[in-house]
């Protein structure tokens, strides 16, 4: 297992190809719990996409891997909020749509936990923006928007942790509620192995407006990690997971080593109780501001999302 105290710091095709057309893999599992189904779909999408990382880094430790949450863990703020901004700038949807979705998410954040979030109407509204849209179009937009709004928001400290695992010959996956198309772009740009993300159904290269299972959030992330471990022959006891959110405790609990990165107060308390490592790369100023764009991102996802998902937290 990689020593998480290691002080080292290091500042093949379209990865989205085949990532969304995985519904057939689950046709016999329609009765599965939505979270389990989402996890299975995400793992299937990750396998279909293949490795996106650099080929010059040998993978010598094949039973160990690392799993990184994205928002506030790998990236400052919410990836989907940055994506939404880029889509809004391209007139993909209106400002009033964005404000309305942000308000709905704000009410949810004030009134309940993300694990209780199952607003069918809100999800259907989100999916209406991508129904009939080509997957290739959304992927191309994601490439552009990553360069414009996301590349300079990667936490250098978290990126160094990911590189530590790669240098040790391990594979590294992102695990996020953001659409799998966008997650794969981020993973490829960072030189990581791949990504597990929320999967939207597509037929003939176009989104249908339906999710496969549900948002990759909470327990669904743990299901996805376990499903990928089975497919890839990983020993989860030798794996490591990183997150900032209490909502990711199921994923953090599924592996042998859990690390709280830029943790919220609830996760910080849990990490202390369980003896998990804590890494905080925020300055006081950034820590005070970080919740604002993330909260807005939670609402913005409804109008912006390539896979039509709702953002998981903060």
Q: Are 281 and 155 within 8 A, CB to CB?
A: yes
Q: Which helix (H) or strand (E) holds 109?
A: helix 95-111
Active site residue 69: yes
Query: Which residue, 181, 138, 128, is CA-closest to 22?
Result: 181
What is the spatial distance between Cα 306 and Cα 166, in angstroms, rounded to a whole number?
Answer: 29
Class of residue 39 by CB neighbours under 10 A (exposed 0-12, middle 13-18, buried 19+): buried
Q: Which two tokens stand for residue 9?
A: 């710091």
Catalytic (active site) residue 51: no
- Residue among 69, 97, 244, 264 flagged as catalytic: 69
User: CA-to-CA distance for 210 and 54, rounded, in angstroms?
Assistant: 33
Report which secondary-structure segment, H or E, holds 48. Answer: helix 34-49
Q: Please give the backbone phi and psi of residue 218, each rounded to the nearest 5 degrees, phi first.
A: 60, -130
H/E segment holding residue 122: helix 120-128
- Identified catalytic residue from 71, 97, 248, 264: 71
Q: Where are the beta strands (DSSP E) in the chain?
A: 65-68, 171-179, 194-198, 200-203, 206-211, 240-243, 257-261, 277-279
What distance lies between CA 139 and its chain's CA centroid?
Answer: 15
Which residue, chain included where needed, has tokens 């999302």? 305
Q: How far is CA 71 from CA 29, 272, 290, in A?
A: 30, 22, 10
Catalytic residues: 69, 71
């Amino acid at each position: 297992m990689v020593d998480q105290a290691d002080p080292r710091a290091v500042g093949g095709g379209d990865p989205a190809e085949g990532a969304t057309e995985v519904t057939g893999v689950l046709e016999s599992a329609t009765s599965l719990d939505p979270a389990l189904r989402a996890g299975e779909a995400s793992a299937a999408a990750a396998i279909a996409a293949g490795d996106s990382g650099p080929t010059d880094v040998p993978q010598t430790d094949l039973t160990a891997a690392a799993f990184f949450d994205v928002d506030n863990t790998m990236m400052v703020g919410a990836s989907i909020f940055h994506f939404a901004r880029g889509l809004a700038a391209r007139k993909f949807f209106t400002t009033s749509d964005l404000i309305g979705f942000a308000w709905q998410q704000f009410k949810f954040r004030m009134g309940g936990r993300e694990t209780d979030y199952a607003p069918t109407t809100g999800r259907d509204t989100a999916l209406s923006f991508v129904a009939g849209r080509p997957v290739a179009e959304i992927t191309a937009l994601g490439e552009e928007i990553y360069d414009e709004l996301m590349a300079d928001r990667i936490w250098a400290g978290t990126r160094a942790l990911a590189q530590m695992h790669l240098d040790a010959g391990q594979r590294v996956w992102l695990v996020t509620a953001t659409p799998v198309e966008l997650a794969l772009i981020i993973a490829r740009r960072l030189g990581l192995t791949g990504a597990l993300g929320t999967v939207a159904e597509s037929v003939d290269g176009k989104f249908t407006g339906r999710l496969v299972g549900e948002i990759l959030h909470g327990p669904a992330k743990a299901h996805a990690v376990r499903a990928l471990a089975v497919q890839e022959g990983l020993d989860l006891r030798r794996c490591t997971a990183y997150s900032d959110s209490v909502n990711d405790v199921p994923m953090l609990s599924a592996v042998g080593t859990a690390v709280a990165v830029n943790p919220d107060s609830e996760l910080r308390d849990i990490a202390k109780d369980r003896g998990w490592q804590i890494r905080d790369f925020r300055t006081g100023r950034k820590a005070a501001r970080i919740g604002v764009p993330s909260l807005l991102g939670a609402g913005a996802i409804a109008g912006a999302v390539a896979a039509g998902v709702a953002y998981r937290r903060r």
